[in-house]
Structure 1
Amino acid sequence: MGKKAKKEPETPTKDEFDPLSIESKKPDTVVLMLHSSEEVVLAKACEGIRKFAEKGDENRVTLMGLGAVEPLSHLISHEDKSVRKNAFMALGIMAHNGDVKKLLKKLDVIPSIISKLSPDEDVVIHEFATQCLASLALNFACKVQIFDSEALKPLIQLLSSTDPDVVKNSVECICNLVQQDQPSRVAVHELNGIPPLLGQLRAEFPIIQQLVLRTLQSITIDKETRVAFREEQGLEKILEFLTTKEYTDLHVEALQLLCNCLEDVEAMQYIQESGGLQTLMTFVTTPTLPEVQSSAVKAISKLAQIYENRKILHEQDVEKSLITLLTMDNNRVRSETCQAVAVLSKNSASKDTFRHMDGISPIVQLLRSESAEVRESAAQALSGLTSGNQLNAYAVFEAEGDEALVQQVQDGSPKEVAYAASVLTNMAAQEALRRSILSQGAMQALVRPLQSKDTHLLVSVVQAVAELACDADGRTEFRNAGGLPHLVKVLHSYNTEVRRNACWAVSVCANDEPTASELCKWGALEVLQDINSSTNRRNRFSEIALQKLLDNNLSAKYSLTGHLSATDIITDGFYDPGQKQAGQRVPDFKDLSKQAINQRRPVIAVNGKPQDVFGHDLAGDKQLDNPSESRPTSGQSNRSGSRAQSKEKAKDADDNKHQEHIVAEKQGSLPWDCALCSLITEATQSILPLLEEREQCRALALLVSSAMGGPVSAEQLHEFPWELHLSELKHEEQSNIIPVGKIKKGTYCHRALLFKALADRIGLGCSLVRGDYNRAWNEVLITDSTAKPPGCYSQPCKYVVDLMHNPGELIKGNSPAAIKYQCI
């Protein structure tokens, strides 16, 4: 046999290029390779881009700038499996960049990616297609497009894949889609996605279990989905999951899912019947991870939302467990525990239990925590514990909680302030506690939050003001703190609850004359009149507030309503600025006193209290302002002579300053009316001793008529020079304000006012009514003194007192003669 000849290599044809191995370190070169027609080149270029993109976001931006995104978006649909796989991997890494996501949406690549989720596609393609979608689903605009392209159905089908990477990416994508997106949450339920998700709770890989729990937690926000979750035995599986020790690191997510389910009464009933409550209590009482305990306590809070559940939890001694958690060195646990206490406090028995077990003091201590979340939750807990429970309110006081609460009102966040103010409101129902709260500067602290726009905060703060202002000291502190103008502004609120509570606070503050006058100064009367004229905004508190303001500011009441009843007692300080229409502002006396003399009707003032130039009450030898500390008498011991002398010198200096202040402010004070003082003395001495009320009325009418020019017949009324007389008095006084006692020629309105002022001094009941054209009259109720048979009583009759034409005559009310007296 001849020797075998050696085979010669084939000579390449002319149209073929010899194989060429390319290595490149330049990304722009590799990007150019993406446009190659050779599968091997394309696959290697995609792989190189993936590796480069994995090194950081800066590289992804570089690749996008070189134009790599668009060819990659086309290559995911390439015929070659290796090219498609590598293109998906590169695109998935690139999609971590926000700008790349926007570009992919603009290139409309998402439908093409979703099409690769079909069952016919290779598992490797499924893996990287779902990975790419999971990354894109973090962008809201892409999320919407993914949902609109109906990606959820194939993604749910892929939950049954045998490849754990496909399952993990699919769950992650679904999880990202349902975050804060109600349509996606509903679609998962409608596409029957709950069973396959529950099936993955026992997955081999914890990351899949965690993503499943987070997905279920998101979709069970919706009530219908929770119903479907229960129907698929979701509660049973979650409780079983919680009792499995090997899943301890995932118990936080499982408890958070359970919290959502406990929104429904049916779920709560199942928890009770299945022993799930004991499971929850185990997490609360057994030392474990703080995150697990806080989630368990949150679930307890959800359970306690139902009345029956609170009773059951109380029977399980839940209060004891919660008190133990209050001392844990973890802010999240303490915060959740305080919130649970707040919910459980809706049960009166639990309120008492927390007090009996000394649970209130540690909550008070948490008011001083460095964590704002803990402080807020502590105040919330105390608000619940003290609501309707005065023993708990006193326990807060004993733990020195009032000081911390006032500090919280002053410096806290809106929610802290709201809860702290609520606790102070509950405590202030007790006088001793109220005084202590006021001594901590509560009224000053409430002024700042009173200017907030937060409606919940405003309701709580205004309620606190109302409760603390129920006595003179509280009102004075609030007035001095400058809170009244801000309270009046709150009356303008469009929120019904805020406005109603503000009206209530105004009605409380208006219980004394100084505060009522100050409120009127800031426009409270006008606002309340406007509110009460509206059928939508009017409420019983606004009506009470308006009446209280008028009752304690008779000058404004007479000006606006033209009527003072027998119970409206005119005292020194009253002035009549004339009739004002509803909604008009009644001028403040100080403003009136500063006006130059004008042609308008004079302001008639009542002040029978003699004062010297320094503001001292000569009749009672008392100073009008708050007196300084009294000097020790000869019988009192003085432990430090030099210290006492220093006080004396300081007091003398204060007195001098006070006198200078009084002189400076003399213009704004009511002028003393010595003539009125004399009339009061005469009425007291000569009229008060009269036994018959009818005789007192007649005698007083004669006194008033005599003081103001005597009888004037109706025919001569036009000749009575009262207007000229008042004009002369204005120039004599150099003021538009005229003391009523100085009027010697007075007409109906002046005589009626003087009669009312004197009648009130001697205890003779009468009203003051303003008519038109300077008419005014007094009405009295007098019982007929004629003897009646036993058991029969006369009804008092209303009479109009004649002070002008036939002084002393009592005209039967509503008679023609009375009407003639009242009208021109």
Structure 2
Amino acid sequence: MSRHVPSWPCVIESLFAADLSAKFAYYGRLTLGDVTSNGFYLLRRSSCPFPVLEDIFRLKLCPLEPIYVVNFGDADQTHNDECMESKLAAFEAARKSMRRESQLRGIRVSDATIDAWLQLKFGHLQYDPVLVGHLNVLKAQLSAIEHRGQCRSPIPGTVEASKIASRAQFLGVFVARQLSGPDSTNSGGGLDQRLELHLHEIKTKIETSVVSLGMLKLGSYLERALMFKALADQIGLPAALVRGTYGRSWIEIAVPKMENAAEANEDTQQHRRRSSRPIIDLCDKFLPTRYLRENYVVDLMDEPGRLMPIDGLEAKVYCSGGKPVDTAIGCAKIRE
């Protein structure tokens, strides 16, 4: 198709930009510039065809594999009475419609299942309180450490270069702490077995396979990478979410090379003498996210917060799940 329609790749990219859940399912990757929003979801294990969340609830399906949903809701927004009444009416009408449809089909669907779907669809009524709590704690801790009031860059589409590495390291530790389980020293079985049991308990409780991210108290590579990505997008930290060929998922970030003050000052003076264009001082300026290129993998499992060069052996082993890897390739090849 692209040979006959030159603009076809741009069209596909635009379509996927409007549905990052489908983009991640198709490409196995969200870039630094892909910012997740409420309602973003992914399957614990890839499947074909990719399920549409609305169809799962409409057809009363219950996939074997969990579907993780990110929903910060509108916790920071206020609504006037008229707006809230309208939303509540729509919520109640949808609930009655789903209950009536399930009865006509002879399928028993609990009120809890119906409400779970409606709460996801009408996120302004019910958000993920635990995930929102994680975000609030993270923002408060970053503000205390960085001595600043806001986490996001004041310039849309940019990031403060000097904060990328430190924030990624801090967030890596933060995420690992949230998803290490109630007893991180528990040795009764491996992580995979404990995670399976944890997910079974959650699905039994909520009677659906659609799991809000905040419900997780234990997580492996995918769960931790997803939480890192979701929180990073909320604080303006560019992060790429990647699903590899060995069933591993990981986070890639871009840390610009920082020059020392003397070299930077000399280069700046030389640049100004031969050009009228301004030069960007990385130490105290903001960089456009689109100019960044991934060069580090964030360790969220073995040594949370560690930044591993993307072409280094440690990153290759981390991304491949311990499988033998060719030292001439990096994580970029593992994910292809």
Give 1:816's match in structure 2, choosing from 306, 313, 318: 313
| Shift in Å, 1:763 | 0.4
The reply to whether residue 605 of structure 1 matches residue 37 of structure 2 is: no
Partner of 2:171: 700
| Shift in Å, 1:577 | 2.9
Give 2:16's match in structure 1, choosing from 517, 542, 550: 550
Question: Superposed, which structure 2 residues align to 1:336-351 within 5 Å?
Answer: none
Give 1:724's match in structure 2, choosing from 197, 201, 216: 197
Does the 8 A contact of 2:192 with 2:220 survive in 1?
Answer: no
SS in structure 1 at match of 2:254: strand
User: One-letter code of the match for 1:562?
Assistant: G
Alpha-carbon distance between aligned partners in 2 of 1:547 and 1:688, rounded to the nearest angstrom: 36
Partner of 1:188: none
Partner of 2:244: 771
Does the 8 A contact of 2:250 with 2:298 survive in 1?
Answer: yes
Alpha-carbon distance between aligned partners in 2 of 1:712 and 1:560, rounded to the nearest angstrom: 37
Higher helix share: 1
Normalization by structure 1: what TM-score? 0.28
Does the 8 A contact of 2:168 with 2:305 survive in 1?
Answer: yes
C-alpha change, 1:656 and 1:732, in structure 2 (3 Å) is: closer
C-alpha change, 1:662 and 1:677, in structure 2 (3 Å) is: farther
C-alpha change, 1:659 and 1:587, in structure 2 (3 Å) is: closer
| Shift in Å, 1:707 | 0.6
Alpha-carbon distance between aligned partners in 2 of 1:727 and 1:704, rounded to the nearest angstrom: 22
Q: Which sections of structure 2, spanning at least 5 residues, go unmatched?
A: 99-114, 121-125, 147-162, 269-280, 283-291, 322-336
User: One-letter code of the match for 1:808?
Assistant: G
| Shift in Å, 1:712 | 8.9
Deviations 1:496-550 (A, max 9, x none): xxxxxxxxxxxxxxxxxxxxxxxxxxxxxxxxxxx45xx5xx4123222211111
Detail structure 1 runs of 4+ shifted over 6 Å in the superposition: 710-713, 792-797
C-alpha change, 1:662 and 1:570, in structure 2 (3 Å) is: same
Question: Superposed, which structure 2 residues align to 1:507-522 within 5 Å?
Answer: none
Give 2:6's match in structure 1, choosing from 540, 554, 560: 540
The reply to whether residue 782 of structure 1 matches residue 255 of structure 2 is: yes
Alpha-carbon distance between aligned partners in 1 of 2:70 and 2:302, rounded to the nearest angstrom: 24
Alpha-carbon distance between aligned partners in 2 of 1:723 and 1:752, rounded to the nearest angstrom: 17
User: One-letter code of the match for 1:681?
Assistant: N
The reply to whether residue 658 of structure 1 matches residue 90 of structure 2 is: yes
Q: Structure 1 vs Structure 2: percent identity of aligned residues?
A: 26
Normalization by structure 2: what TM-score? 0.66
C-alpha change, 1:656 and 1:555, in structure 2 (3 Å) is: closer
| Shift in Å, 1:658 | 3.1
Partner of 2:271: none
**How many residues align structurally?**
253
Q: Which sections of structure 1, spanning at least 5 residues, go unmatched?
A: 1-530, 610-616, 629-651
User: One-letter code of the match for 1:622?
Assistant: H
Does the 8 A contact of 2:191 with 2:220 survive in 1?
Answer: no
C-alpha change, 1:756 and 1:578, in structure 2 (3 Å) is: same
The reply to whether residue 678 of structure 1 matches residue 133 of structure 2 is: yes
Partner of 1:339: none
The reply to whether residue 791 of structure 1 matches residue 267 of structure 2 is: yes
C-alpha change, 1:719 and 1:668, in structure 2 (3 Å) is: closer
C-alpha change, 1:657 and 1:803, in structure 2 (3 Å) is: closer
Partner of 1:803: 300
Alpha-carbon distance between aligned partners in 1 of 2:143 and 2:245, rounded to the nearest angstrom: 32
| Shift in Å, 1:768 | 0.4
Alpha-carbon distance between aligned partners in 2 of 1:752 and 1:618, rounded to the nearest angstrom: 23
Which has the higher Rg, Structure 1 or Structure 2? Answer: 1
Partner of 1:410: none
| Shift in Å, 1:586 | 2.7
| Shift in Å, 1:721 | 1.1
SS in structure 1 at match of 2:295: strand
C-alpha change, 1:596 and 1:689, in structure 2 (3 Å) is: same
| Shift in Å, 1:791 | 1.2
Alpha-carbon distance between aligned partners in 2 of 1:557 and 1:719, rounded to the nearest angstrom: 27
Q: Which has the higher contact order (CA 8 A, sep 6+)?
A: 2
Does the 8 A contact of 1:597 with 1:731 survive in 2?
Answer: no
Does the 8 A contact of 2:39 with 2:71 survive in 1?
Answer: yes
Higher strand share: 2
RMSD: 3.2
Alpha-carbon distance between aligned partners in 1 of 2:54 and 2:258, rounded to the nearest angstrom: 47
